[in-house]
Structure 1
Amino acid sequence: MNRTTVAVKKPARWADAVPAREAQFETKRRALVREAARAFGRRGFHNTSLEEIAEALGVTKPALYRYVRTKHEILHEAKSIAFDSGAKAREMAFAASEDPIERLRLYIIHYIDLVTSELGSYAVLAEPVTSLPPEYADPIRARMREADRALRDMVQSAMDAGFIPAGDPKLSVAFFMGAINHIARWYTPDGPLTGREIGEIFAGFVLNGLRGPGPQPT
């Protein structure tokens, strides 16, 4: 009896190939944003051209246009990375502890660590949203409101649990995020402290400030 062998055609592995190309594209785009952030930090957003960013990356300007179209798109992407880092920091803090004050401490440490490692030099984050046209500024403002609400809830939980005195969570968040965001003015990855070390120091400053002065010696 003759047996006929039927060759089974293997399906094309689109599921494997497409994500690999997309991941490669995203990796290069992130590298571009990091280099642009460094350039903006050195020279300022308005004083840095796409030509200078392309030169720093060792690519032509047409090659650069494969990943971004304008400086505004780069600034929007850098700010989006910062908000992604904030969301991840909150997630890590909530996964690690049920203690409201410990969650706040961990959030500060993780946020500073993540945003400095992601962007290298994140002075670009000090650039105001008003530098962006509406199509980029509006989504960023929406994320700012979302992040602010989440942090106010964290502070309110610490107040409700009695870890810090009752007060206005809005002002508390403005106090410590203003200090944290000011790091963008002076931080450099070549400095003596890592992002995580700065985060741990700032977390101590913030919690001590929110708790207020302790008993005064007589």
Structure 2
Amino acid sequence: MTRTASVKKPARWADAVPAREAQFETKRRALVREAARAFGRRGFHNTSLEEIAEALGVTKPALYRYVRTKHEILYEAKTIAFDAGAEARKTAFAASEDPLEQLRLYIVNYIDLVTSELGSYAVLAEPVTSLPPELAEPIRGRMREADRALRDMVQAAMDAGSVAPGDPRLVVAFFMGAINHIARWYAPDGALTGRQIGETFAGFVLDGLRGPGWTPTKT
């Protein structure tokens, strides 16, 4: 009886590459989170890559495997925030068909996501002008995209008669200005969680949009 030798199949390249890439991105994202905390303590312009490497417990050459400049870290932090916004909108639309509830859920989920992902995220208060043009322009594109999406959400709530009519541009500027300012004072070890802050802010925003004595229009 002839025995057939068992031949071990070589690992597929297509399977191996995504695993390595995923590991790299996981480490890079962790680096961005820690760098964001460092920027929150000392400020973006006052924190060097050497200090970030020290906070991470790695050498500067090891740090260079993932980022080359502070600007890359700022860019990645802002990208994480815009990704959180997109995810919050998707979650809100999936959870409810009511435009006002969608807006409420967006605010709650966005604040919860961005605080849990970036922790002390004061770096997000750093203006886009701190980035070089090649990094600033994609971020401005994400800003315009997010602004349009939020205006549409507000307009939908107005069209449904859920809130008082007005200019959606000003409404978005009002509540996103307040939300973005959280970055200047939020602390992960503070008395309130990101979700608790989100719930409170959502209440403020919706109460403000409805106005005193506002009665929703029945449709």
Report the TM range for the smaller structure's normalisation: over 0.9
Distance in 2 between residues matched to 1:43 and 1:164, nearest whole Å: 41
> Counterpart in 1 of 2:51?
52
Partner Cα distance (2:5, 2:121) in 1: 60
Please list the CA deviations of residues 93-137 of structure 1 after superposition, one character each: whole Å capped at 9, or x if unmatched.
000000000000000000000000110111000000000010000
Distance in 2 (alpha carbons) for counterparts of 1:107 and 1:3: 66
SS in 1 for 2:44: coil
CA shift for structure 1 position 15: 3.4
1:13 Cα deviation (Å)? 2.9
Q: What SS class does the counterpart of residue 20 from structure 2 fall into?
A: helix
**Residue equivalent to 2:217:** none
TM-score relative to the length of structure 1: 0.94
Q: Using the alignment, how far apart are the partners of 1:26 and 1:132 within structure 2?
A: 21
Cα distance, 1:158 vs structure 2? 0.1
**In the aligned structure 1, how far is the partner of 2:3 from the partner of 2:183?**
71
SS in structure 1 of the partner of residue 45 of structure 2 = coil
Once the two structures are superposed, what CA deviation does each residue of 1:37-62 show, in whole Å capped at 9, x if it has no partner? Answer: 01111111000000000000000000
Distance in 2 of aligned mates of 1:190 and 1:23? 29
Is the partner of 1:188 in helix, strand or coil?
A: coil
Percent identity of equivalent pairs? 86
Q: 2:158 matched to 1:182?
A: no
Tell me the equivalent position of 1:79.
78
Aligned to 2:95: 96
Distance in 2 (CA, whole Å) between partners of 1:72 and 1:201 is: 33
State the alpha-carbon separation in 2 of the partners of residues 199 and 62 from structure 1. Answer: 39
User: Deviations 1:147-201 (Å, cap 9, x if unpaired)?
Assistant: 0000000000000000011110000000000000000010000000000010000
Aligned ranges 1:190-209 → 2 under 5 Å: 190-209=189-208
User: How far is 1:16 from its partner?
Assistant: 3.2
Q: Which amino acid aligns with 1:10?
A: K
- The answer for the alignment partner of 2:111 in structure 1 is 112
TM-score by length of 2: 0.94
Could you list the runs of 5+ residues in structure 1 that have no partner in the other structure? none
What's 1:156 paired with? 155
Structure-1 separation of matches of 2:88 and 2:151: 15
Give the Cα separation in 2 of the matches to 1:13 and 1:110.
Answer: 39
User: Which residue matches 2:21?
Assistant: 22
Measure, in 2, the Cα distance between the counterparts of 1:31 and 1:127: 20
What's the offset of the Cα at 1:8?
Answer: 5.0
Note the alpha carbon deviations across 1:46-97, whole angstroms, 9 max, x for none.
0000000000000000000000000000000000000000000000000000
Aligned residue number for residue 138 of structure 1: 137
Secondary structure of the structure 2 residue equivalent to 1:213: coil
Q: Secondary structure at the match of 2:106?
A: helix
Residue type at the aligned position of 2:128: V
Aligned-partner Cα distance in 2 for 1:186–1:45:
15
Q: Which amino acid aligns with 2:157?
A: A
Q: Tell me whether 34-43 or 81-90 shows the greater mean CA deviation.
A: 34-43
Tell me what 1:36 maps to. 35
Alignment size in residue pairs: 214
Distance 2:57 2:4 in 1: 54
The one-letter code matched in structure 1 to 2:117 is: E
